């Protein structure tokens, strides 16, 4: 797991987050463990080259970067470089921390679970807000943050954060690409703004629906950053001085929203909105963007996080089959049906997991159908177990466990009678 990071939150970014619901995350970041001695606003600001002993409080964002986060060493023209960290370090001398490494974080979305903390001059810290994913947005401490207007589907104190149209994690499922957010290392929350909501998606509020899926089911999990040159007014020519490197955020009603890594004076001359030192936002006409280039970062194959059938699901299926009429037939499907969960990469952990699943299935079966007949060993298979029940009407249920496999088998009355005659199972 990546080490937690910390970022100073400037006023305009604070307003974007907690008043407008933005979740854009970009620019200089530092490790939380390296900044632990910065306990006052003066110490934090001093590391940014600001001498402000009179400031009463500052807000910082602490978060664990997503598996797709792109961190790089600052360069003179990167956001962190423009902000004063071109050499790659912040000066923590005021707190005794010495030089603290700084990284540039490429534009992405705030990860789920990120927390904004307020540091006071007396050393106190208070939680200001937490980001709980695009479906819920920012959950704010209303004693520190003005309450946002109530939004359908959200609790008071929450600020919605619609999924970004460009930056942030994406996942491909069944041939379609969705915005994504990690719930845990094995699970993704996928989002759609389509109306009506796609199949299997839960509608959260107008214009936003979601679905929880195991990460292993996604064909691809990736993040893309798109850079371009903003040419300003007039015709673009390669190498023209007016061309300003930028990163594309999303389409806007009157153009395209981009990020510029320029200082305050340059931002003012370009009429760009400065979010923080080195990070400015501007909406530009689409035709003024040249040489667009996308760079994708993609995760490799996902680990096989196993999710077997639940005991209730297995027993419900057995009860459903027991309620059906089963005519006499020579077809095998009319005599025996089964559910099988298989782990292809057997490990001690997966074997233990299936063993627990089998035990819970047997417990649920005993609750429904009474005490089972238990048998250790399954034919020539060692280390296996079987639990069996004879149901009303003559049908039979068997739960079996062997290395890498747990099964739930239903024998119709005809199939059970055939097995009895063949004396397939001892003790019956």
Q: Among the three residues 127, 161, 195, which one is the final residue of a domain in this structure?
A: 161
Q: What tokens does 328 get?
A: 């006499």
Q: How many CA atoms lie within 13 A of 19 on its CB side?
A: 8
Q: Decide if 195 is inside a domain.
A: no
What proportion of the chain, given as a percentage, has pLDDT over 70? 80
Phi, psi angle pair for 355, to nearest 5°:
-60, -40
| pTM, two decimal places | 0.67
Q: Decide if 124 is inside a domain.
A: yes
CA distance 326 to 291: 68
Q: Among the three residues 108, 131, 161, which one is the final residue of a domain in this structure?
A: 161
What residue numbers bound the domain in which 414 lies? 311-422
DSSP one-letter code for 123 = S
pLDDT at 387 exceeding the cut of 70: yes
Q: Which residues pair with 168 in a beta bridge?
A: none
Say what the pLDDT of residue 19 is.
Answer: 84
Mean pLDDT of 59-82: 91
Say what the pLDDT of residue 54 is.
Answer: 87
Q: Residue written as tokens 């509020």?
A: 205
Say what the pLDDT of residue 378 is.
Answer: 46
Could you tell me the pLDDT band of residue 92, with boundaries at 50, 70 and 90? low
Of 108-117, 326-335, 360-369, 412-421, which range is least confident? Answer: 326-335
| pLDDT tens digits along 134-178 | 888 888 887 777 654 443 333 445 555 555 556 899 999 888 999
Q: Among the three residues 161, 194, 227, which one is the final residue of a domain in this structure?
A: 161
Mean pLDDT of 388-397: 91
Q: Decide if 199 is inside a domain.
A: no
CA distance 11 to 274: 10
Q: What tokens does 35 get?
A: 């900044």
* Residues 362/399, Cβ–Cβ less than 8 Å: yes
Could you tell me the pLDDT band of residue 421, with boundaries at 50, 70 and 90? low
Q: How far is CA 8 from the centre of its chain?
A: 23
Could you tell me the pLDDT band of residue 425, with boundaries at 50, 70 and 90? very low
Say what the pLDDT of residue 330 is.
Answer: 58
Q: Is the peptide bond before 196 cis (omega within 30 degrees of 0)?
A: yes
| pLDDT tens digits along 241-288 | 568 888 898 887 788 889 899 888 888 888 889 999 999 999 999 888
Q: Decide if 184 is inside a domain.
A: no
Say what the pLDDT of residue 264 is.
Answer: 87
Indicate the SS3 state at residue 183: strand
Higher-pLDDT residue of 127, 243: 127
Q: Decide if 306 is inside a domain.
A: no
For residue 157, what are the CA distances in angstroms to 76, 110, 128, 133?
40, 18, 11, 15
Higher-pLDDT residue of 64, 242: 64
Q: Decide if 244 is inside a domain.
A: no
Q: Residue written as tokens 């996928």?
A: 190
pLDDT at 27 exceeding the cut of 60: yes
For β-strands 57-63 and 115-120, DSSP reports them as: antiparallel
Could you tell me the pLDDT band of residue 370, with boundaries at 50, 70 and 90? very high
Higher-pLDDT residue of 60, 270: 60
Domain count, the chain: 2
Say what the pLDDT of residue 424 is.
Answer: 46
Residue (of 130, 133, 128, 136) closest to 115 by Cα position? 130
Please report, for the domain that includes residue 371, its CATH number: 3.30.160
Indicate the SS3 state at residue 378: strand
Q: Decide if 370 is inside a domain.
A: yes
Indicate the SS3 state at residue 332: helix
Q: Decide if 112 is inside a domain.
A: yes
Of 276-290, 304-318, 406-420, which range is least confident? Answer: 304-318
């Amino acid at each position: 797991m990546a080490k937690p990071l910390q970022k100073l939150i400037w006023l305009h970014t604070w307003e974007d987050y907690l008043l407008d619901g933005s979740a854009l995350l970009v620019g200089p970041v530092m490790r939380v463990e390296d900044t632990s001695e910065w306990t006052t606003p003066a110490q934090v600001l001093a590391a940014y080259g600001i001498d402000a002993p009179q400031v009463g409080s500052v807000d910082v964002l602490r978060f664990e970067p997503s598996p797709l986060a792109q961190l790089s060493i600052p360069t003179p023209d990167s956001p962190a470089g423009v902000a004063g960290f071109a050499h790659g370090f912040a000066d923590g001398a005021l707190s005794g921390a010495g030089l603290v490494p700084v990284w540039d974080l490429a534009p992405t979305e705030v990860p789920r679970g990120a927390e904004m903390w307020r540091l006071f001059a007396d050393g106190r810290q208070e939680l200001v807000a937490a980001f709980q994913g695009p479906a819920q947005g920012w959950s704010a401490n209303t004693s520190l943050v003005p309450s946002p207007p109530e939004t359908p589907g959200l609790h008071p104190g929450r600020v919605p954060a619609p999924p970004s149209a460009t930056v942030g994690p994406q996942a491909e499922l069944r041939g379609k690409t969705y915005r994504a957010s990690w719930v845990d290392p094995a699970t993704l929350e996928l989002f759609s703004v389509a109306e009506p909501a796609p199949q299997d998606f839960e509608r959260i509020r107008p214009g936003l629906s979601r679905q929880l899926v195991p990460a292993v089911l996604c064909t691809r999990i990736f993040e893309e950053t798109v850079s371009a040159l903003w040419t300003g007014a007039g015709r673009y020519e390669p190498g023209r001085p007016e061309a300003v490197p930028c990163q594309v955020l999303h389409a806007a009603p009157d153009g395209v929203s981009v990020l510029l890594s320029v200082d305050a004076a340059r931002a003012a001359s370009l009429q760009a909105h400065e979010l923080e030192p080195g990070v400015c936002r501007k909406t530009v006409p689409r035709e003024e963007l040249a040489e667009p280039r996308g760079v994708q970062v993609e995760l490799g194959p996902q680990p096989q996080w196993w999710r077997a059938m639940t005991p209730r699901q297995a027993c419900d299926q057995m009860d459903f089959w027991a309620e059906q009429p089963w005519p006499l037939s020579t077809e095998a499907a009319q005599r025996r049906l089964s559910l099988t969960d298989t782990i292809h990469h057997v490990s001690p952990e997966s074997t233990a997991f299936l063993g627990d699943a089998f035990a819970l299935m047997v417990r649920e079966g005993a609750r429904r159908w009474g005490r089972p007949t238990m048998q250790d060993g399954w034919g020539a298979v060692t280390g296996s177990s079987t639990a069996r029940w004879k149901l009303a009407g003559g049908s039979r249920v068997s739960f079996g466990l062997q290395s890498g496999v747990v099964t739930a088998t239903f024998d119709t009355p005809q199939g059970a009678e055939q097995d009895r005659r063949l004396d397939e199972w001892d003790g019956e």
